[in-house]
Amino acid sequence: MSYLTDRKRAVGNGAGSEGTHHHWKMMVSSICLVVLVPFFVFTFGAGLGGTYEDVQAYFSSPFVALVMALGLIVGLRHFKMEIDEAVEDYVHGLAQKLTLIAVNAATYVLMAVGLFALLKLAL
């Protein structure tokens, strides 16, 4: 016989026992993006319009490369978490599992391709 009330069992867990954790991950990545997106936009914008050699010299700066890499990684990670949440809400069964696998694969491929392009340009 359990002496715990329904409220006591549910406090802090959310419906699937992971809602609070997911919420905080989204909040942290959102706060990071509030800072990173303006840096990303202005840094990227400043590198546009030059010759290939000028752009390569600009992106070889450690600060510029770091801002670009962080913006890419944090932005795509946030995108992945948002799409995962939408898929979990609206797609069910085998289609849900396959869609989540496809979203994860696509996100990590985009991260790898973006970082490879950045490294190729910066080095």
What CATH number is given to the structural domain containing 56?
1.20.1300.10
Give the list of residues 6+ apart from residue 101 with CB closer than 8 angstroms, or none. Answer: none
Q: Look up residue 5 and give its DSSP letter.
A: -
Tell me how many domains the chain contains: 1
pTM over 0.85: no
- The reply to whether 112 falls in a domain is yes
Query: Which residues constitute the domain of residue 107?
Result: 18-122
97 to 64, 91, 100: CA distances (angstroms): 37, 9, 5
What is the chain's mean pLDDT, rounded?
Answer: 89
- The reply to whether 116 falls in a domain is yes
Residue 108 has pLDDT above 90, yes or no: yes
- The reply to whether 71 falls in a domain is yes
Give the per-residue pLDDT at 57: 92
What angle separates helix 62-90 from helix 19-46, to the nearest 10 degrees? 140
Q: Is 4 helix (H, G, I), strand (E, B) or coil?
A: coil
- The reply to whether 93 falls in a domain is yes
- The reply to whether 33 falls in a domain is yes
Average pLDDT over residues 89-115: 96
- The reply to whether 27 falls in a domain is yes
pLDDT digits (tens, 9 = 90+) for 11-69: 655 555 677 888 899 999 999 999 999 999 999 999 888 898 999 999 999 999 999 99
